[in-house]
A and B are shown apart, each in its own frame.
Chain A
């Protein structure tokens, strides 16, 4: 009897010490735009993605520093000697929120469903996959068409997240109205244009998580309103405060401002189908005349760094010693002198209307190019018209940016340097056979050291070609109340709500 009492006392003592940690609470996040769809295979906007990532989980996920992939619903994998077959073991004991166990059938179904969207969705990311087969209840084998280094990173993409086989008997449309997954949260309620709420999954496989009872994303388009809501205690997290108010938020009592390292690269793109941008000296001249530090100061209010490479620091195989063009007015002049238009020319820069950051960059660029004798007119189009123009390569120069979706450079490098990569080299028509070959080699090179060498060379060559003029790397801005702990954003931009705690 006394022994049992001692054991019980021991148990409750353990219980009290863990209950001092914050538990429960409803998290409220305010963000500028609403989600659009919960279909993880066909949806491209971040609000939707960051939401359904809390419901449906992939086999692997990106590490917090963005450099590696770590096991998630899978525990590990082995690769065959010919590098074409990956055998993946699933984590035992994982259940969907419906109570059904996670099996290899669900994994095969989910990956195949993603591949099927190749024409209009994310399926193209699985282009290297030949077949997915069920080995046993907890093992899946993926056979590739060719050696493919980014495979595990591709499997960590949310489009390859695991859903119940056959959508649990529903049609895809029905399923995605209220998706079911293995994630820490389950479907709550969505008032379109207003708020989206998810509730805690009590059967989540990570014991003791999530701490929160629910998470709600509110749609608050105006950055000032979000800031005031945070300061007024109406919300817990402000998604994307303006850089102009970042410093004042940092020094506000009860508020914590975060600038999380990202994989975002901002750049100026040159359309090589339009003279004189087919001339490398012109592109270099412009790239050397950009004062990146001034841009960081004026646009990001100091929250960022000058960009030196095609890849960003948060991306694997980034070369911090890559010698991309820096601010060097003397070199700019000498490049221009060697070019086809030594006395300057007139051109235009296409930007998005309503985007204050792009407007600032454009104006600074305009005055810098004037010193070279280049007259640059600024053209503004609304976001969709702007995208349409870029899709058709209907621009001279344009501002754009890229953020990675997977912890592997290939998604971006293929888009950017390979005219057959689907986007005509980020719509610039850049075509350097040596660079294209390097990129293809790197895709198939499994050895990490050799891959690093290949990407180093690629970063060096693309810097010399200056097909894009890199401007800056900017972090992700968030502000939270000091009651929120455990909130961190990976360089890919996503976050794990199951790690967040909210104290009273």
Chain B
């Protein structure tokens, strides 16, 4: 089995120029924005003279290529730089935000699968019938409702009226975190599930009509054992790809959820850094997001390979 995973190291190496390209792009895009940290720091009482002086102090008056190579040099030594807004090491800010976003995403994916797999199964085993229609109406609603609205509705219902969950925030202990992440994760799960359900539903219908399932049925398999043993694993293959692609977007898309639920994650960190033109933080977050997307891509292919023995991504096409 591990033979088929031979592609992983090569993919990791390929990731390096990609990530390098991302840092270059983000650096220059951020610096193209009008305004800079000096303007943001000095606020309403800024005067042109003070801005110029602060720019000098922050090292922003150097030519842009110089600034880029200084940044790259520090990065290669593992130094993410100092936040111009907070005057603190960027690594501290980013490492504080990463667990928040990752645990939110993990929780959201788990909830999404908990919602999607049964619903897809219910729909796929009775296509065209009442329960299939019900599931498809759910997917329509899930895709149509904006995330921040769903989030606020969930807060109103579960936090304010029923007082089961708190309204926003992240909590202090790991157990607290799970409690505080329940509603935001659920909001994201509801937003993600329509795509997953649709994909899983149609591939399940395909699989259910396949010859090997007919064979299994003729051997007496049925219901849950059939679903788990033969159907789900095969039906999941295209869905895994879709989930992987979605996860990549989610890291940035979690921003809306983070704002509504006051979660101090990467999305909030990034958007605040952009508003205050905190270049080192913008670059560091972009770097981590690029890294995350690349790793998720590789992991998706690994899962894909493990699920489907016919797939061998390391095989070289004969010249």
- Pairwise interchain contact A220-B168, C-beta atoms closer than 8 A: yes
**Alpha-carbon distance between A422 and B275 when the two chains are bound, in angstroms:** 25
**Alpha-carbon distance between A36 and B260 when the two chains are bound, in angstroms:** 21
A494 to chain B, nearest CB (A): 16
- Pairwise interchain contact B155-A383, C-beta atoms closer than 8 A: no
- Pairwise interchain contact B264-A219, C-beta atoms closer than 8 A: yes
**Alpha-carbon distance between A400 and B46 when the two chains are bound, in angstroms:** 13
- Pairwise interchain contact A391-B39, C-beta atoms closer than 8 A: yes
B92 to chain A, nearest CB (A): 8
Q: Which of the segments A222-230, A278-286, A440-448 contacts the partner chain?
A: A222-230
Chain A residues with CB under 8 Å of B47's CB are 391, 422-423
**Alpha-carbon distance between A225 and B153 when the two chains are bound, in angstroms:** 11
- Pairwise interchain contact B264-A382, C-beta atoms closer than 8 A: no
Chain A residues with CB under 8 Å of B264's CB are 191-194, 219
Is A240 interfacial (CB 8 A cutoff)? no
Per the CB 8 Å criterion, the residue count for chain B at the interface is 50
Is B160 interfacial (CB 8 A cutoff)? yes
A123 to chain B, nearest CB (A): 10
- Pairwise interchain contact A221-B259, C-beta atoms closer than 8 A: yes
Is A384 interfacial (CB 8 A cutoff)? yes
- Pairwise interchain contact B41-A385, C-beta atoms closer than 8 A: no
- Pairwise interchain contact B97-A193, C-beta atoms closer than 8 A: yes
Is B262 interfacial (CB 8 A cutoff)? yes
**Alpha-carbon distance between A218 and B166 when the two chains are bound, in angstroms:** 14
Is A234 interfacial (CB 8 A cutoff)? yes
**Alpha-carbon distance between A388 and B159 when the two chains are bound, in angstroms:** 41
Q: A44-B45, A219-B262, A234-B167 are in contact. Are A192 and B88 (CB under 8 A)?
A: yes
Q: A36-B86, A37-B87, A191-B96 are in contact. Are A228 and B44 (CB under 8 A)?
A: no
- Pairwise interchain contact B46-A387, C-beta atoms closer than 8 A: yes
Binary interface encoding of chain A residues 216-260 relative to chain B, with 1 for a CB under 8 A from any of its CBs, else 0: 001111101100110110100000000000000000000000000
**Alpha-carbon distance between A403 and B45 when the two chains are bound, in angstroms:** 10
**Alpha-carbon distance between A44 and B44 when the two chains are bound, in angstroms:** 8
Is A389 interfacial (CB 8 A cutoff)? yes
**Alpha-carbon distance between A44 and B43 when the two chains are bound, in angstroms:** 6
Binary interface encoding of chain B residues 48-63 relative to chain A, with 1 for a CB under 8 A from any of its CBs, else 0: 1111011001000000
- Pairwise interchain contact B39-A222, C-beta atoms closer than 8 A: no
Nearest B residue to A421 via CB reads B47
**Alpha-carbon distance between A154 and B257 when the two chains are bound, in angstroms:** 43
Binary interface encoding of chain A residues 363-383 relative to chain B, with 1 for a CB under 8 A from any of its CBs, else 0: 000000000000000000111
Chain A residues with CB under 8 Å of B44's CB are 44, 387, 400-403
Is B34 interfacial (CB 8 A cutoff)? yes
Q: A192-B93, A387-B39, A391-B51 are in contact. Are A232 and B167 (CB under 8 A)?
A: yes
Chain B residues with CB under 8 Å of A415's CB are 45
A residues 396-416 with Cβ under 8 Å of B? 400-403, 405, 415
**Alpha-carbon distance between A381 and B275 when the two chains are bound, in angstroms:** 11
Is B80 interfacial (CB 8 A cutoff)? no
Is A482 interfacial (CB 8 A cutoff)? no
B273 to chain A, nearest CB (A): 10
Binary interface encoding of chain A residues 418-432 relative to chain B, with 1 for a CB under 8 A from any of its CBs, else 0: 000011100000000
Q: A119-B50, A389-B34 are in contact. Are A225 and B41 (CB under 8 A)?
A: no
- Pairwise interchain contact A388-B39, C-beta atoms closer than 8 A: yes
Chain B residues with CB under 8 Å of A381's CB are 34
- Pairwise interchain contact B168-A225, C-beta atoms closer than 8 A: yes
- Pairwise interchain contact A193-B39, C-beta atoms closer than 8 A: no
Is B268 interfacial (CB 8 A cutoff)? yes
B48 to chain A, nearest CB (A): 6
- Pairwise interchain contact B46-A391, C-beta atoms closer than 8 A: yes
**Alpha-carbon distance between A173 and B155 when the two chains are bound, in angstroms:** 41
- Pairwise interchain contact B167-A225, C-beta atoms closer than 8 A: yes
**Alpha-carbon distance between A338 and B290 when the two chains are bound, in angstroms:** 61
**Alpha-carbon distance between A234 and B46 when the two chains are bound, in angstroms:** 36
Binary interface encoding of chain B residues 83-117 relative to chain A, with 1 for a CB under 8 A from any of its CBs, else 0: 00111100011001100000000000000000000
- Pairwise interchain contact A193-B96, C-beta atoms closer than 8 A: yes
Is B319 interfacial (CB 8 A cutoff)? no
A residues 266-312 with Cβ under 8 Å of B? none
Q: A37-B86, A228-B160, A391-B48 are in contact. Are A193 and B41 (CB under 8 A)?
A: no
- Pairwise interchain contact A229-B39, C-beta atoms closer than 8 A: no
Q: A232-B160, A234-B167, A384-B275 are in contact. Are A44 and B262 (CB under 8 A)?
A: no
The answer, among B33, B40, B88, for a CB contact under 8 Å with A387, is B40
**Alpha-carbon distance between A391 and B47 when the two chains are bound, in angstroms:** 7
Most buried by A among B86, B167, B259, B275: B167
**Alpha-carbon distance between A228 and B262 when the two chains are bound, in angstroms:** 12
Is A120 interfacial (CB 8 A cutoff)? yes
- Pairwise interchain contact A222-B259, C-beta atoms closer than 8 A: yes
**Alpha-carbon distance between A402 and B275 when the two chains are bound, in angstroms:** 21
- Pairwise interchain contact A221-B45, C-beta atoms closer than 8 A: no
Chain B residues with CB under 8 Å of A173's CB are 87
Q: A45-B43, A387-B35 are in contact. Are A192 and B159 (CB under 8 A)?
A: no
**Alpha-carbon distance between A158 and B122 when the two chains are bound, in angstroms:** 64
Nearest A residue to B269 via CB reads A193
**Alpha-carbon distance between A232 and B157 when the two chains are bound, in angstroms:** 11
- Pairwise interchain contact A225-B39, C-beta atoms closer than 8 A: no
Is B304 interfacial (CB 8 A cutoff)? no
**Alpha-carbon distance between A37 and B41 when the two chains are bound, in angstroms:** 10
Residues of chain A at the chain B interface (Cβ within 8 Å): 30, 34, 36-37, 44-45, 119-120, 173, 191-194, 218-222, 224-225, 228-229, 231-232, 234, 381-389, 391-392, 400-403, 405, 415, 422-424
18 A-B pairs (CB sep. < 8 Å): A44-B42, A45-B43, A119-B50, A120-B42, A191-B96, A192-B96, A220-B169, A221-B268, A224-B152, A228-B156, A234-B167, A384-B35, A385-B35, A387-B39, A387-B46, A391-B46, A401-B44, A403-B44
Query: With contacts A219-B264, A220-B262, A401-B44 known, what are 16 further pairs, Cβ within 8 A?
Result: A36-B85, A36-B86, A120-B57, A194-B264, A220-B169, A224-B152, A225-B262, A228-B155, A234-B166, A381-B34, A382-B275, A384-B39, A387-B39, A387-B43, A388-B39, A424-B48
Residues of chain B at the chain A interface (Cβ within 8 Å): 33-36, 39-51, 53-54, 57, 85-88, 92-93, 96-97, 152, 155-156, 159-160, 163, 166-170, 259-262, 264, 268-269, 272, 275-277
Q: Report, nearest first, the 9 A-B pairs whose CB atoms are least far apart.
A: A388-B35, A384-B35, A422-B47, A193-B264, A194-B264, A44-B43, A220-B262, A385-B34, A120-B54
